[in-house]
Structure 1
Amino acid sequence: MHFLPQKIDDYIVTHSENEPQILKDLTRETYQKVLQPIMLSGSYQGRVLSMISHLVAPKRVLEIGTFTGYSALCLAEGMPDGSELITIDINEELEDLVERYFKRFRDPDSYRDTNNNTTLTQKIGDATQIIPELEGTFDLVFIDADKPNYVNYLDLIMDKVHSGSLIISDNVLWHGKVVEELDPKDKSTPILLEFNKRLKEDPRLQTVVLPIRDGLTLSRVV
């Protein structure tokens, strides 16, 4: 979804860093083989995630919601030598596709920003059950999974971050529904409204909402 005029959006994309070939290939395969390919982060948001990762240089990243691995690869681009990315998704049917592209990421001939010492780990299952079992803390957390659990994910990750950690939340504008009259049958929008309110009011967080694609929130742990 575009929140800017189409011509302006196109101009921004044209004048931003080009999408690496491996991600173009992943996008093509996702649209050919996977239901709801629109769930991909997409070229522009992917470049934003890559830029943020390069600026933060996180040594440990947790992603909640893998899908086909596009955003994980973008985040991995900026991670330093010897770092670790853990990504969680409940859909085991996409596990082999994701792993195939993770292997390409480690190949220096496939990815210009590759880091062969970066560990990319998929965990398949319910993130609300997996997150409490993870040890240590994370420098960056990306939330992009089922919307009804967004508040639950926030509660669970606050014990897994430290001062200076960055929490990135996707789809926070939810196709503009956050400013529209609520549909009584809509289960996701009320949760996102509560989630956005929590991010704004939590004294442990410094938060800014960016109108990128379907809304991207950056929250720094103070």
Structure 2
Amino acid sequence: MHFLPEKLDDYVVSHSQDEPELLQQLTRETYQKILQPIMLSGPYQGRVLSMISKLIQPQTILELGTFTGYATLCLAEGLQSNGDIHTIDINEELVDFQRKYFDKSPFGAQIHQHLGSAIDIIPTLDMTFDLVFIDADKPNYVNYFHLIIDKLNTGGVIISDNVLWHGKVIEPVNTKDHSTKAVLAYNTLLKNDTRVETVLLPIRDGLTISRKK
């Protein structure tokens, strides 16, 4: 979703860093072979994720929702040389696709895939994180926050995707629309939880940056 006029949005994109060739290849193959390719972060948001990661220079990253690995590779660009990124997804059919592109990148050995429910996997990860990216099933966003907040280092950052949810956050909510209700609850949590300070950015479908105090 674009919140700027198309011409202005085009200007913003054209004056931001270009998408790396490997990610262009990943995008093409995702659109050719994978259902719902719109779930890709895309070149502009990908460069935003890369820049945030490079500014933080994390030792450890946790990603919830791998899809075909586009955002994973963007986030990995900011990893310290001995750092690691753990990425969780429930779709078994995408594991080999992800690994192919991970291993084509300079970060293959640093990227650790976890298959299954993030609700089950997060408690098994015996480590803390400097950066967390949440881009998974919306009804569990609040649950994910509560699972990761104690695993987030002081000064660590949570990036949350789709927090404007196609603009539905400012529209009357259908009682059966569980995803929109969940996003609204999550946005309220991030605003009010005293453990984090939060800014919501109108980038694509909405990105929230929350820093642990």
Give the TM-score, by structure 1 length. 0.94
How many angstroms does 1:78 deviate by? 1.0
Q: Residue 22 of structure 2 aligns to a residue in which SS?
A: helix
Answer yes or no: is 1:56 the counterpart of 2:47.
Answer: no
**Deviation by residue 1:144-180 (Cα, 9 ceiling, x = unmatched):** 0000110110010012112100000000000000000
Instruction: State the match for 2:128 in structure 1.
Output: 137
1:120 — aligned with what?
111
Percentage identity across aligned positions? 62
Q: Does 1:86 align with 2:64?
A: no
What is the alpha-carbon distance in structure 2 between the residues aligned to residue 159 and residue 165 of structure 1?
11
**CA deviations over 1:18-55 (Å, ceiling 9, x no partner):** 00000000000001111110000000000000000110
If each structure's helix is expressed as a fraction of its own residues, which one has the higher value?
2
Counterpart AA for 2:116: G
Alignment of 1:151-190 (within 5 A): 151-190=142-181
Secondary structure of the structure 1 residue equivalent to 2:155? strand
Q: Secondary structure of the residue that 2:2 maps to in structure 1?
A: coil
Tell me by how many angstroms 1:80 deviates: 1.2
**Matching residue's letter, 1:24:** Q
Q: CA deviation at 1:185?
A: 1.9
Alignment gaps of 5+ in structure 1: 107-114
Q: Secondary structure at the match of 2:173?
A: coil
1:214 aligns with 2:188: no
Q: Which amino acid in 2 is paired with 1:15? A: H
In 2, Cα distance between equivalents of 1:59 and 1:66? 19
What is the alpha-carbon distance in structure 1 between the residues aligned to residue 26 and residue 124 of structure 2? 30
How far 1:136 moved relative to its partner?
1.4
Q: Shift of residue 119 of structure 1?
A: 1.1
CA RMSD of aligned residues (A): 0.9
Question: 193, 198, 212: which one pairs with 1:202?
Answer: 193
**Which runs of structure 1 show a deviation greater than 4 angstroms over 4 or more consecutive aligned residues?**
none
In the alignment of these two chains, the number of paired residues is: 213
Cα distance in 2, alignment partners of residues 28 and 183 from structure 1: 35
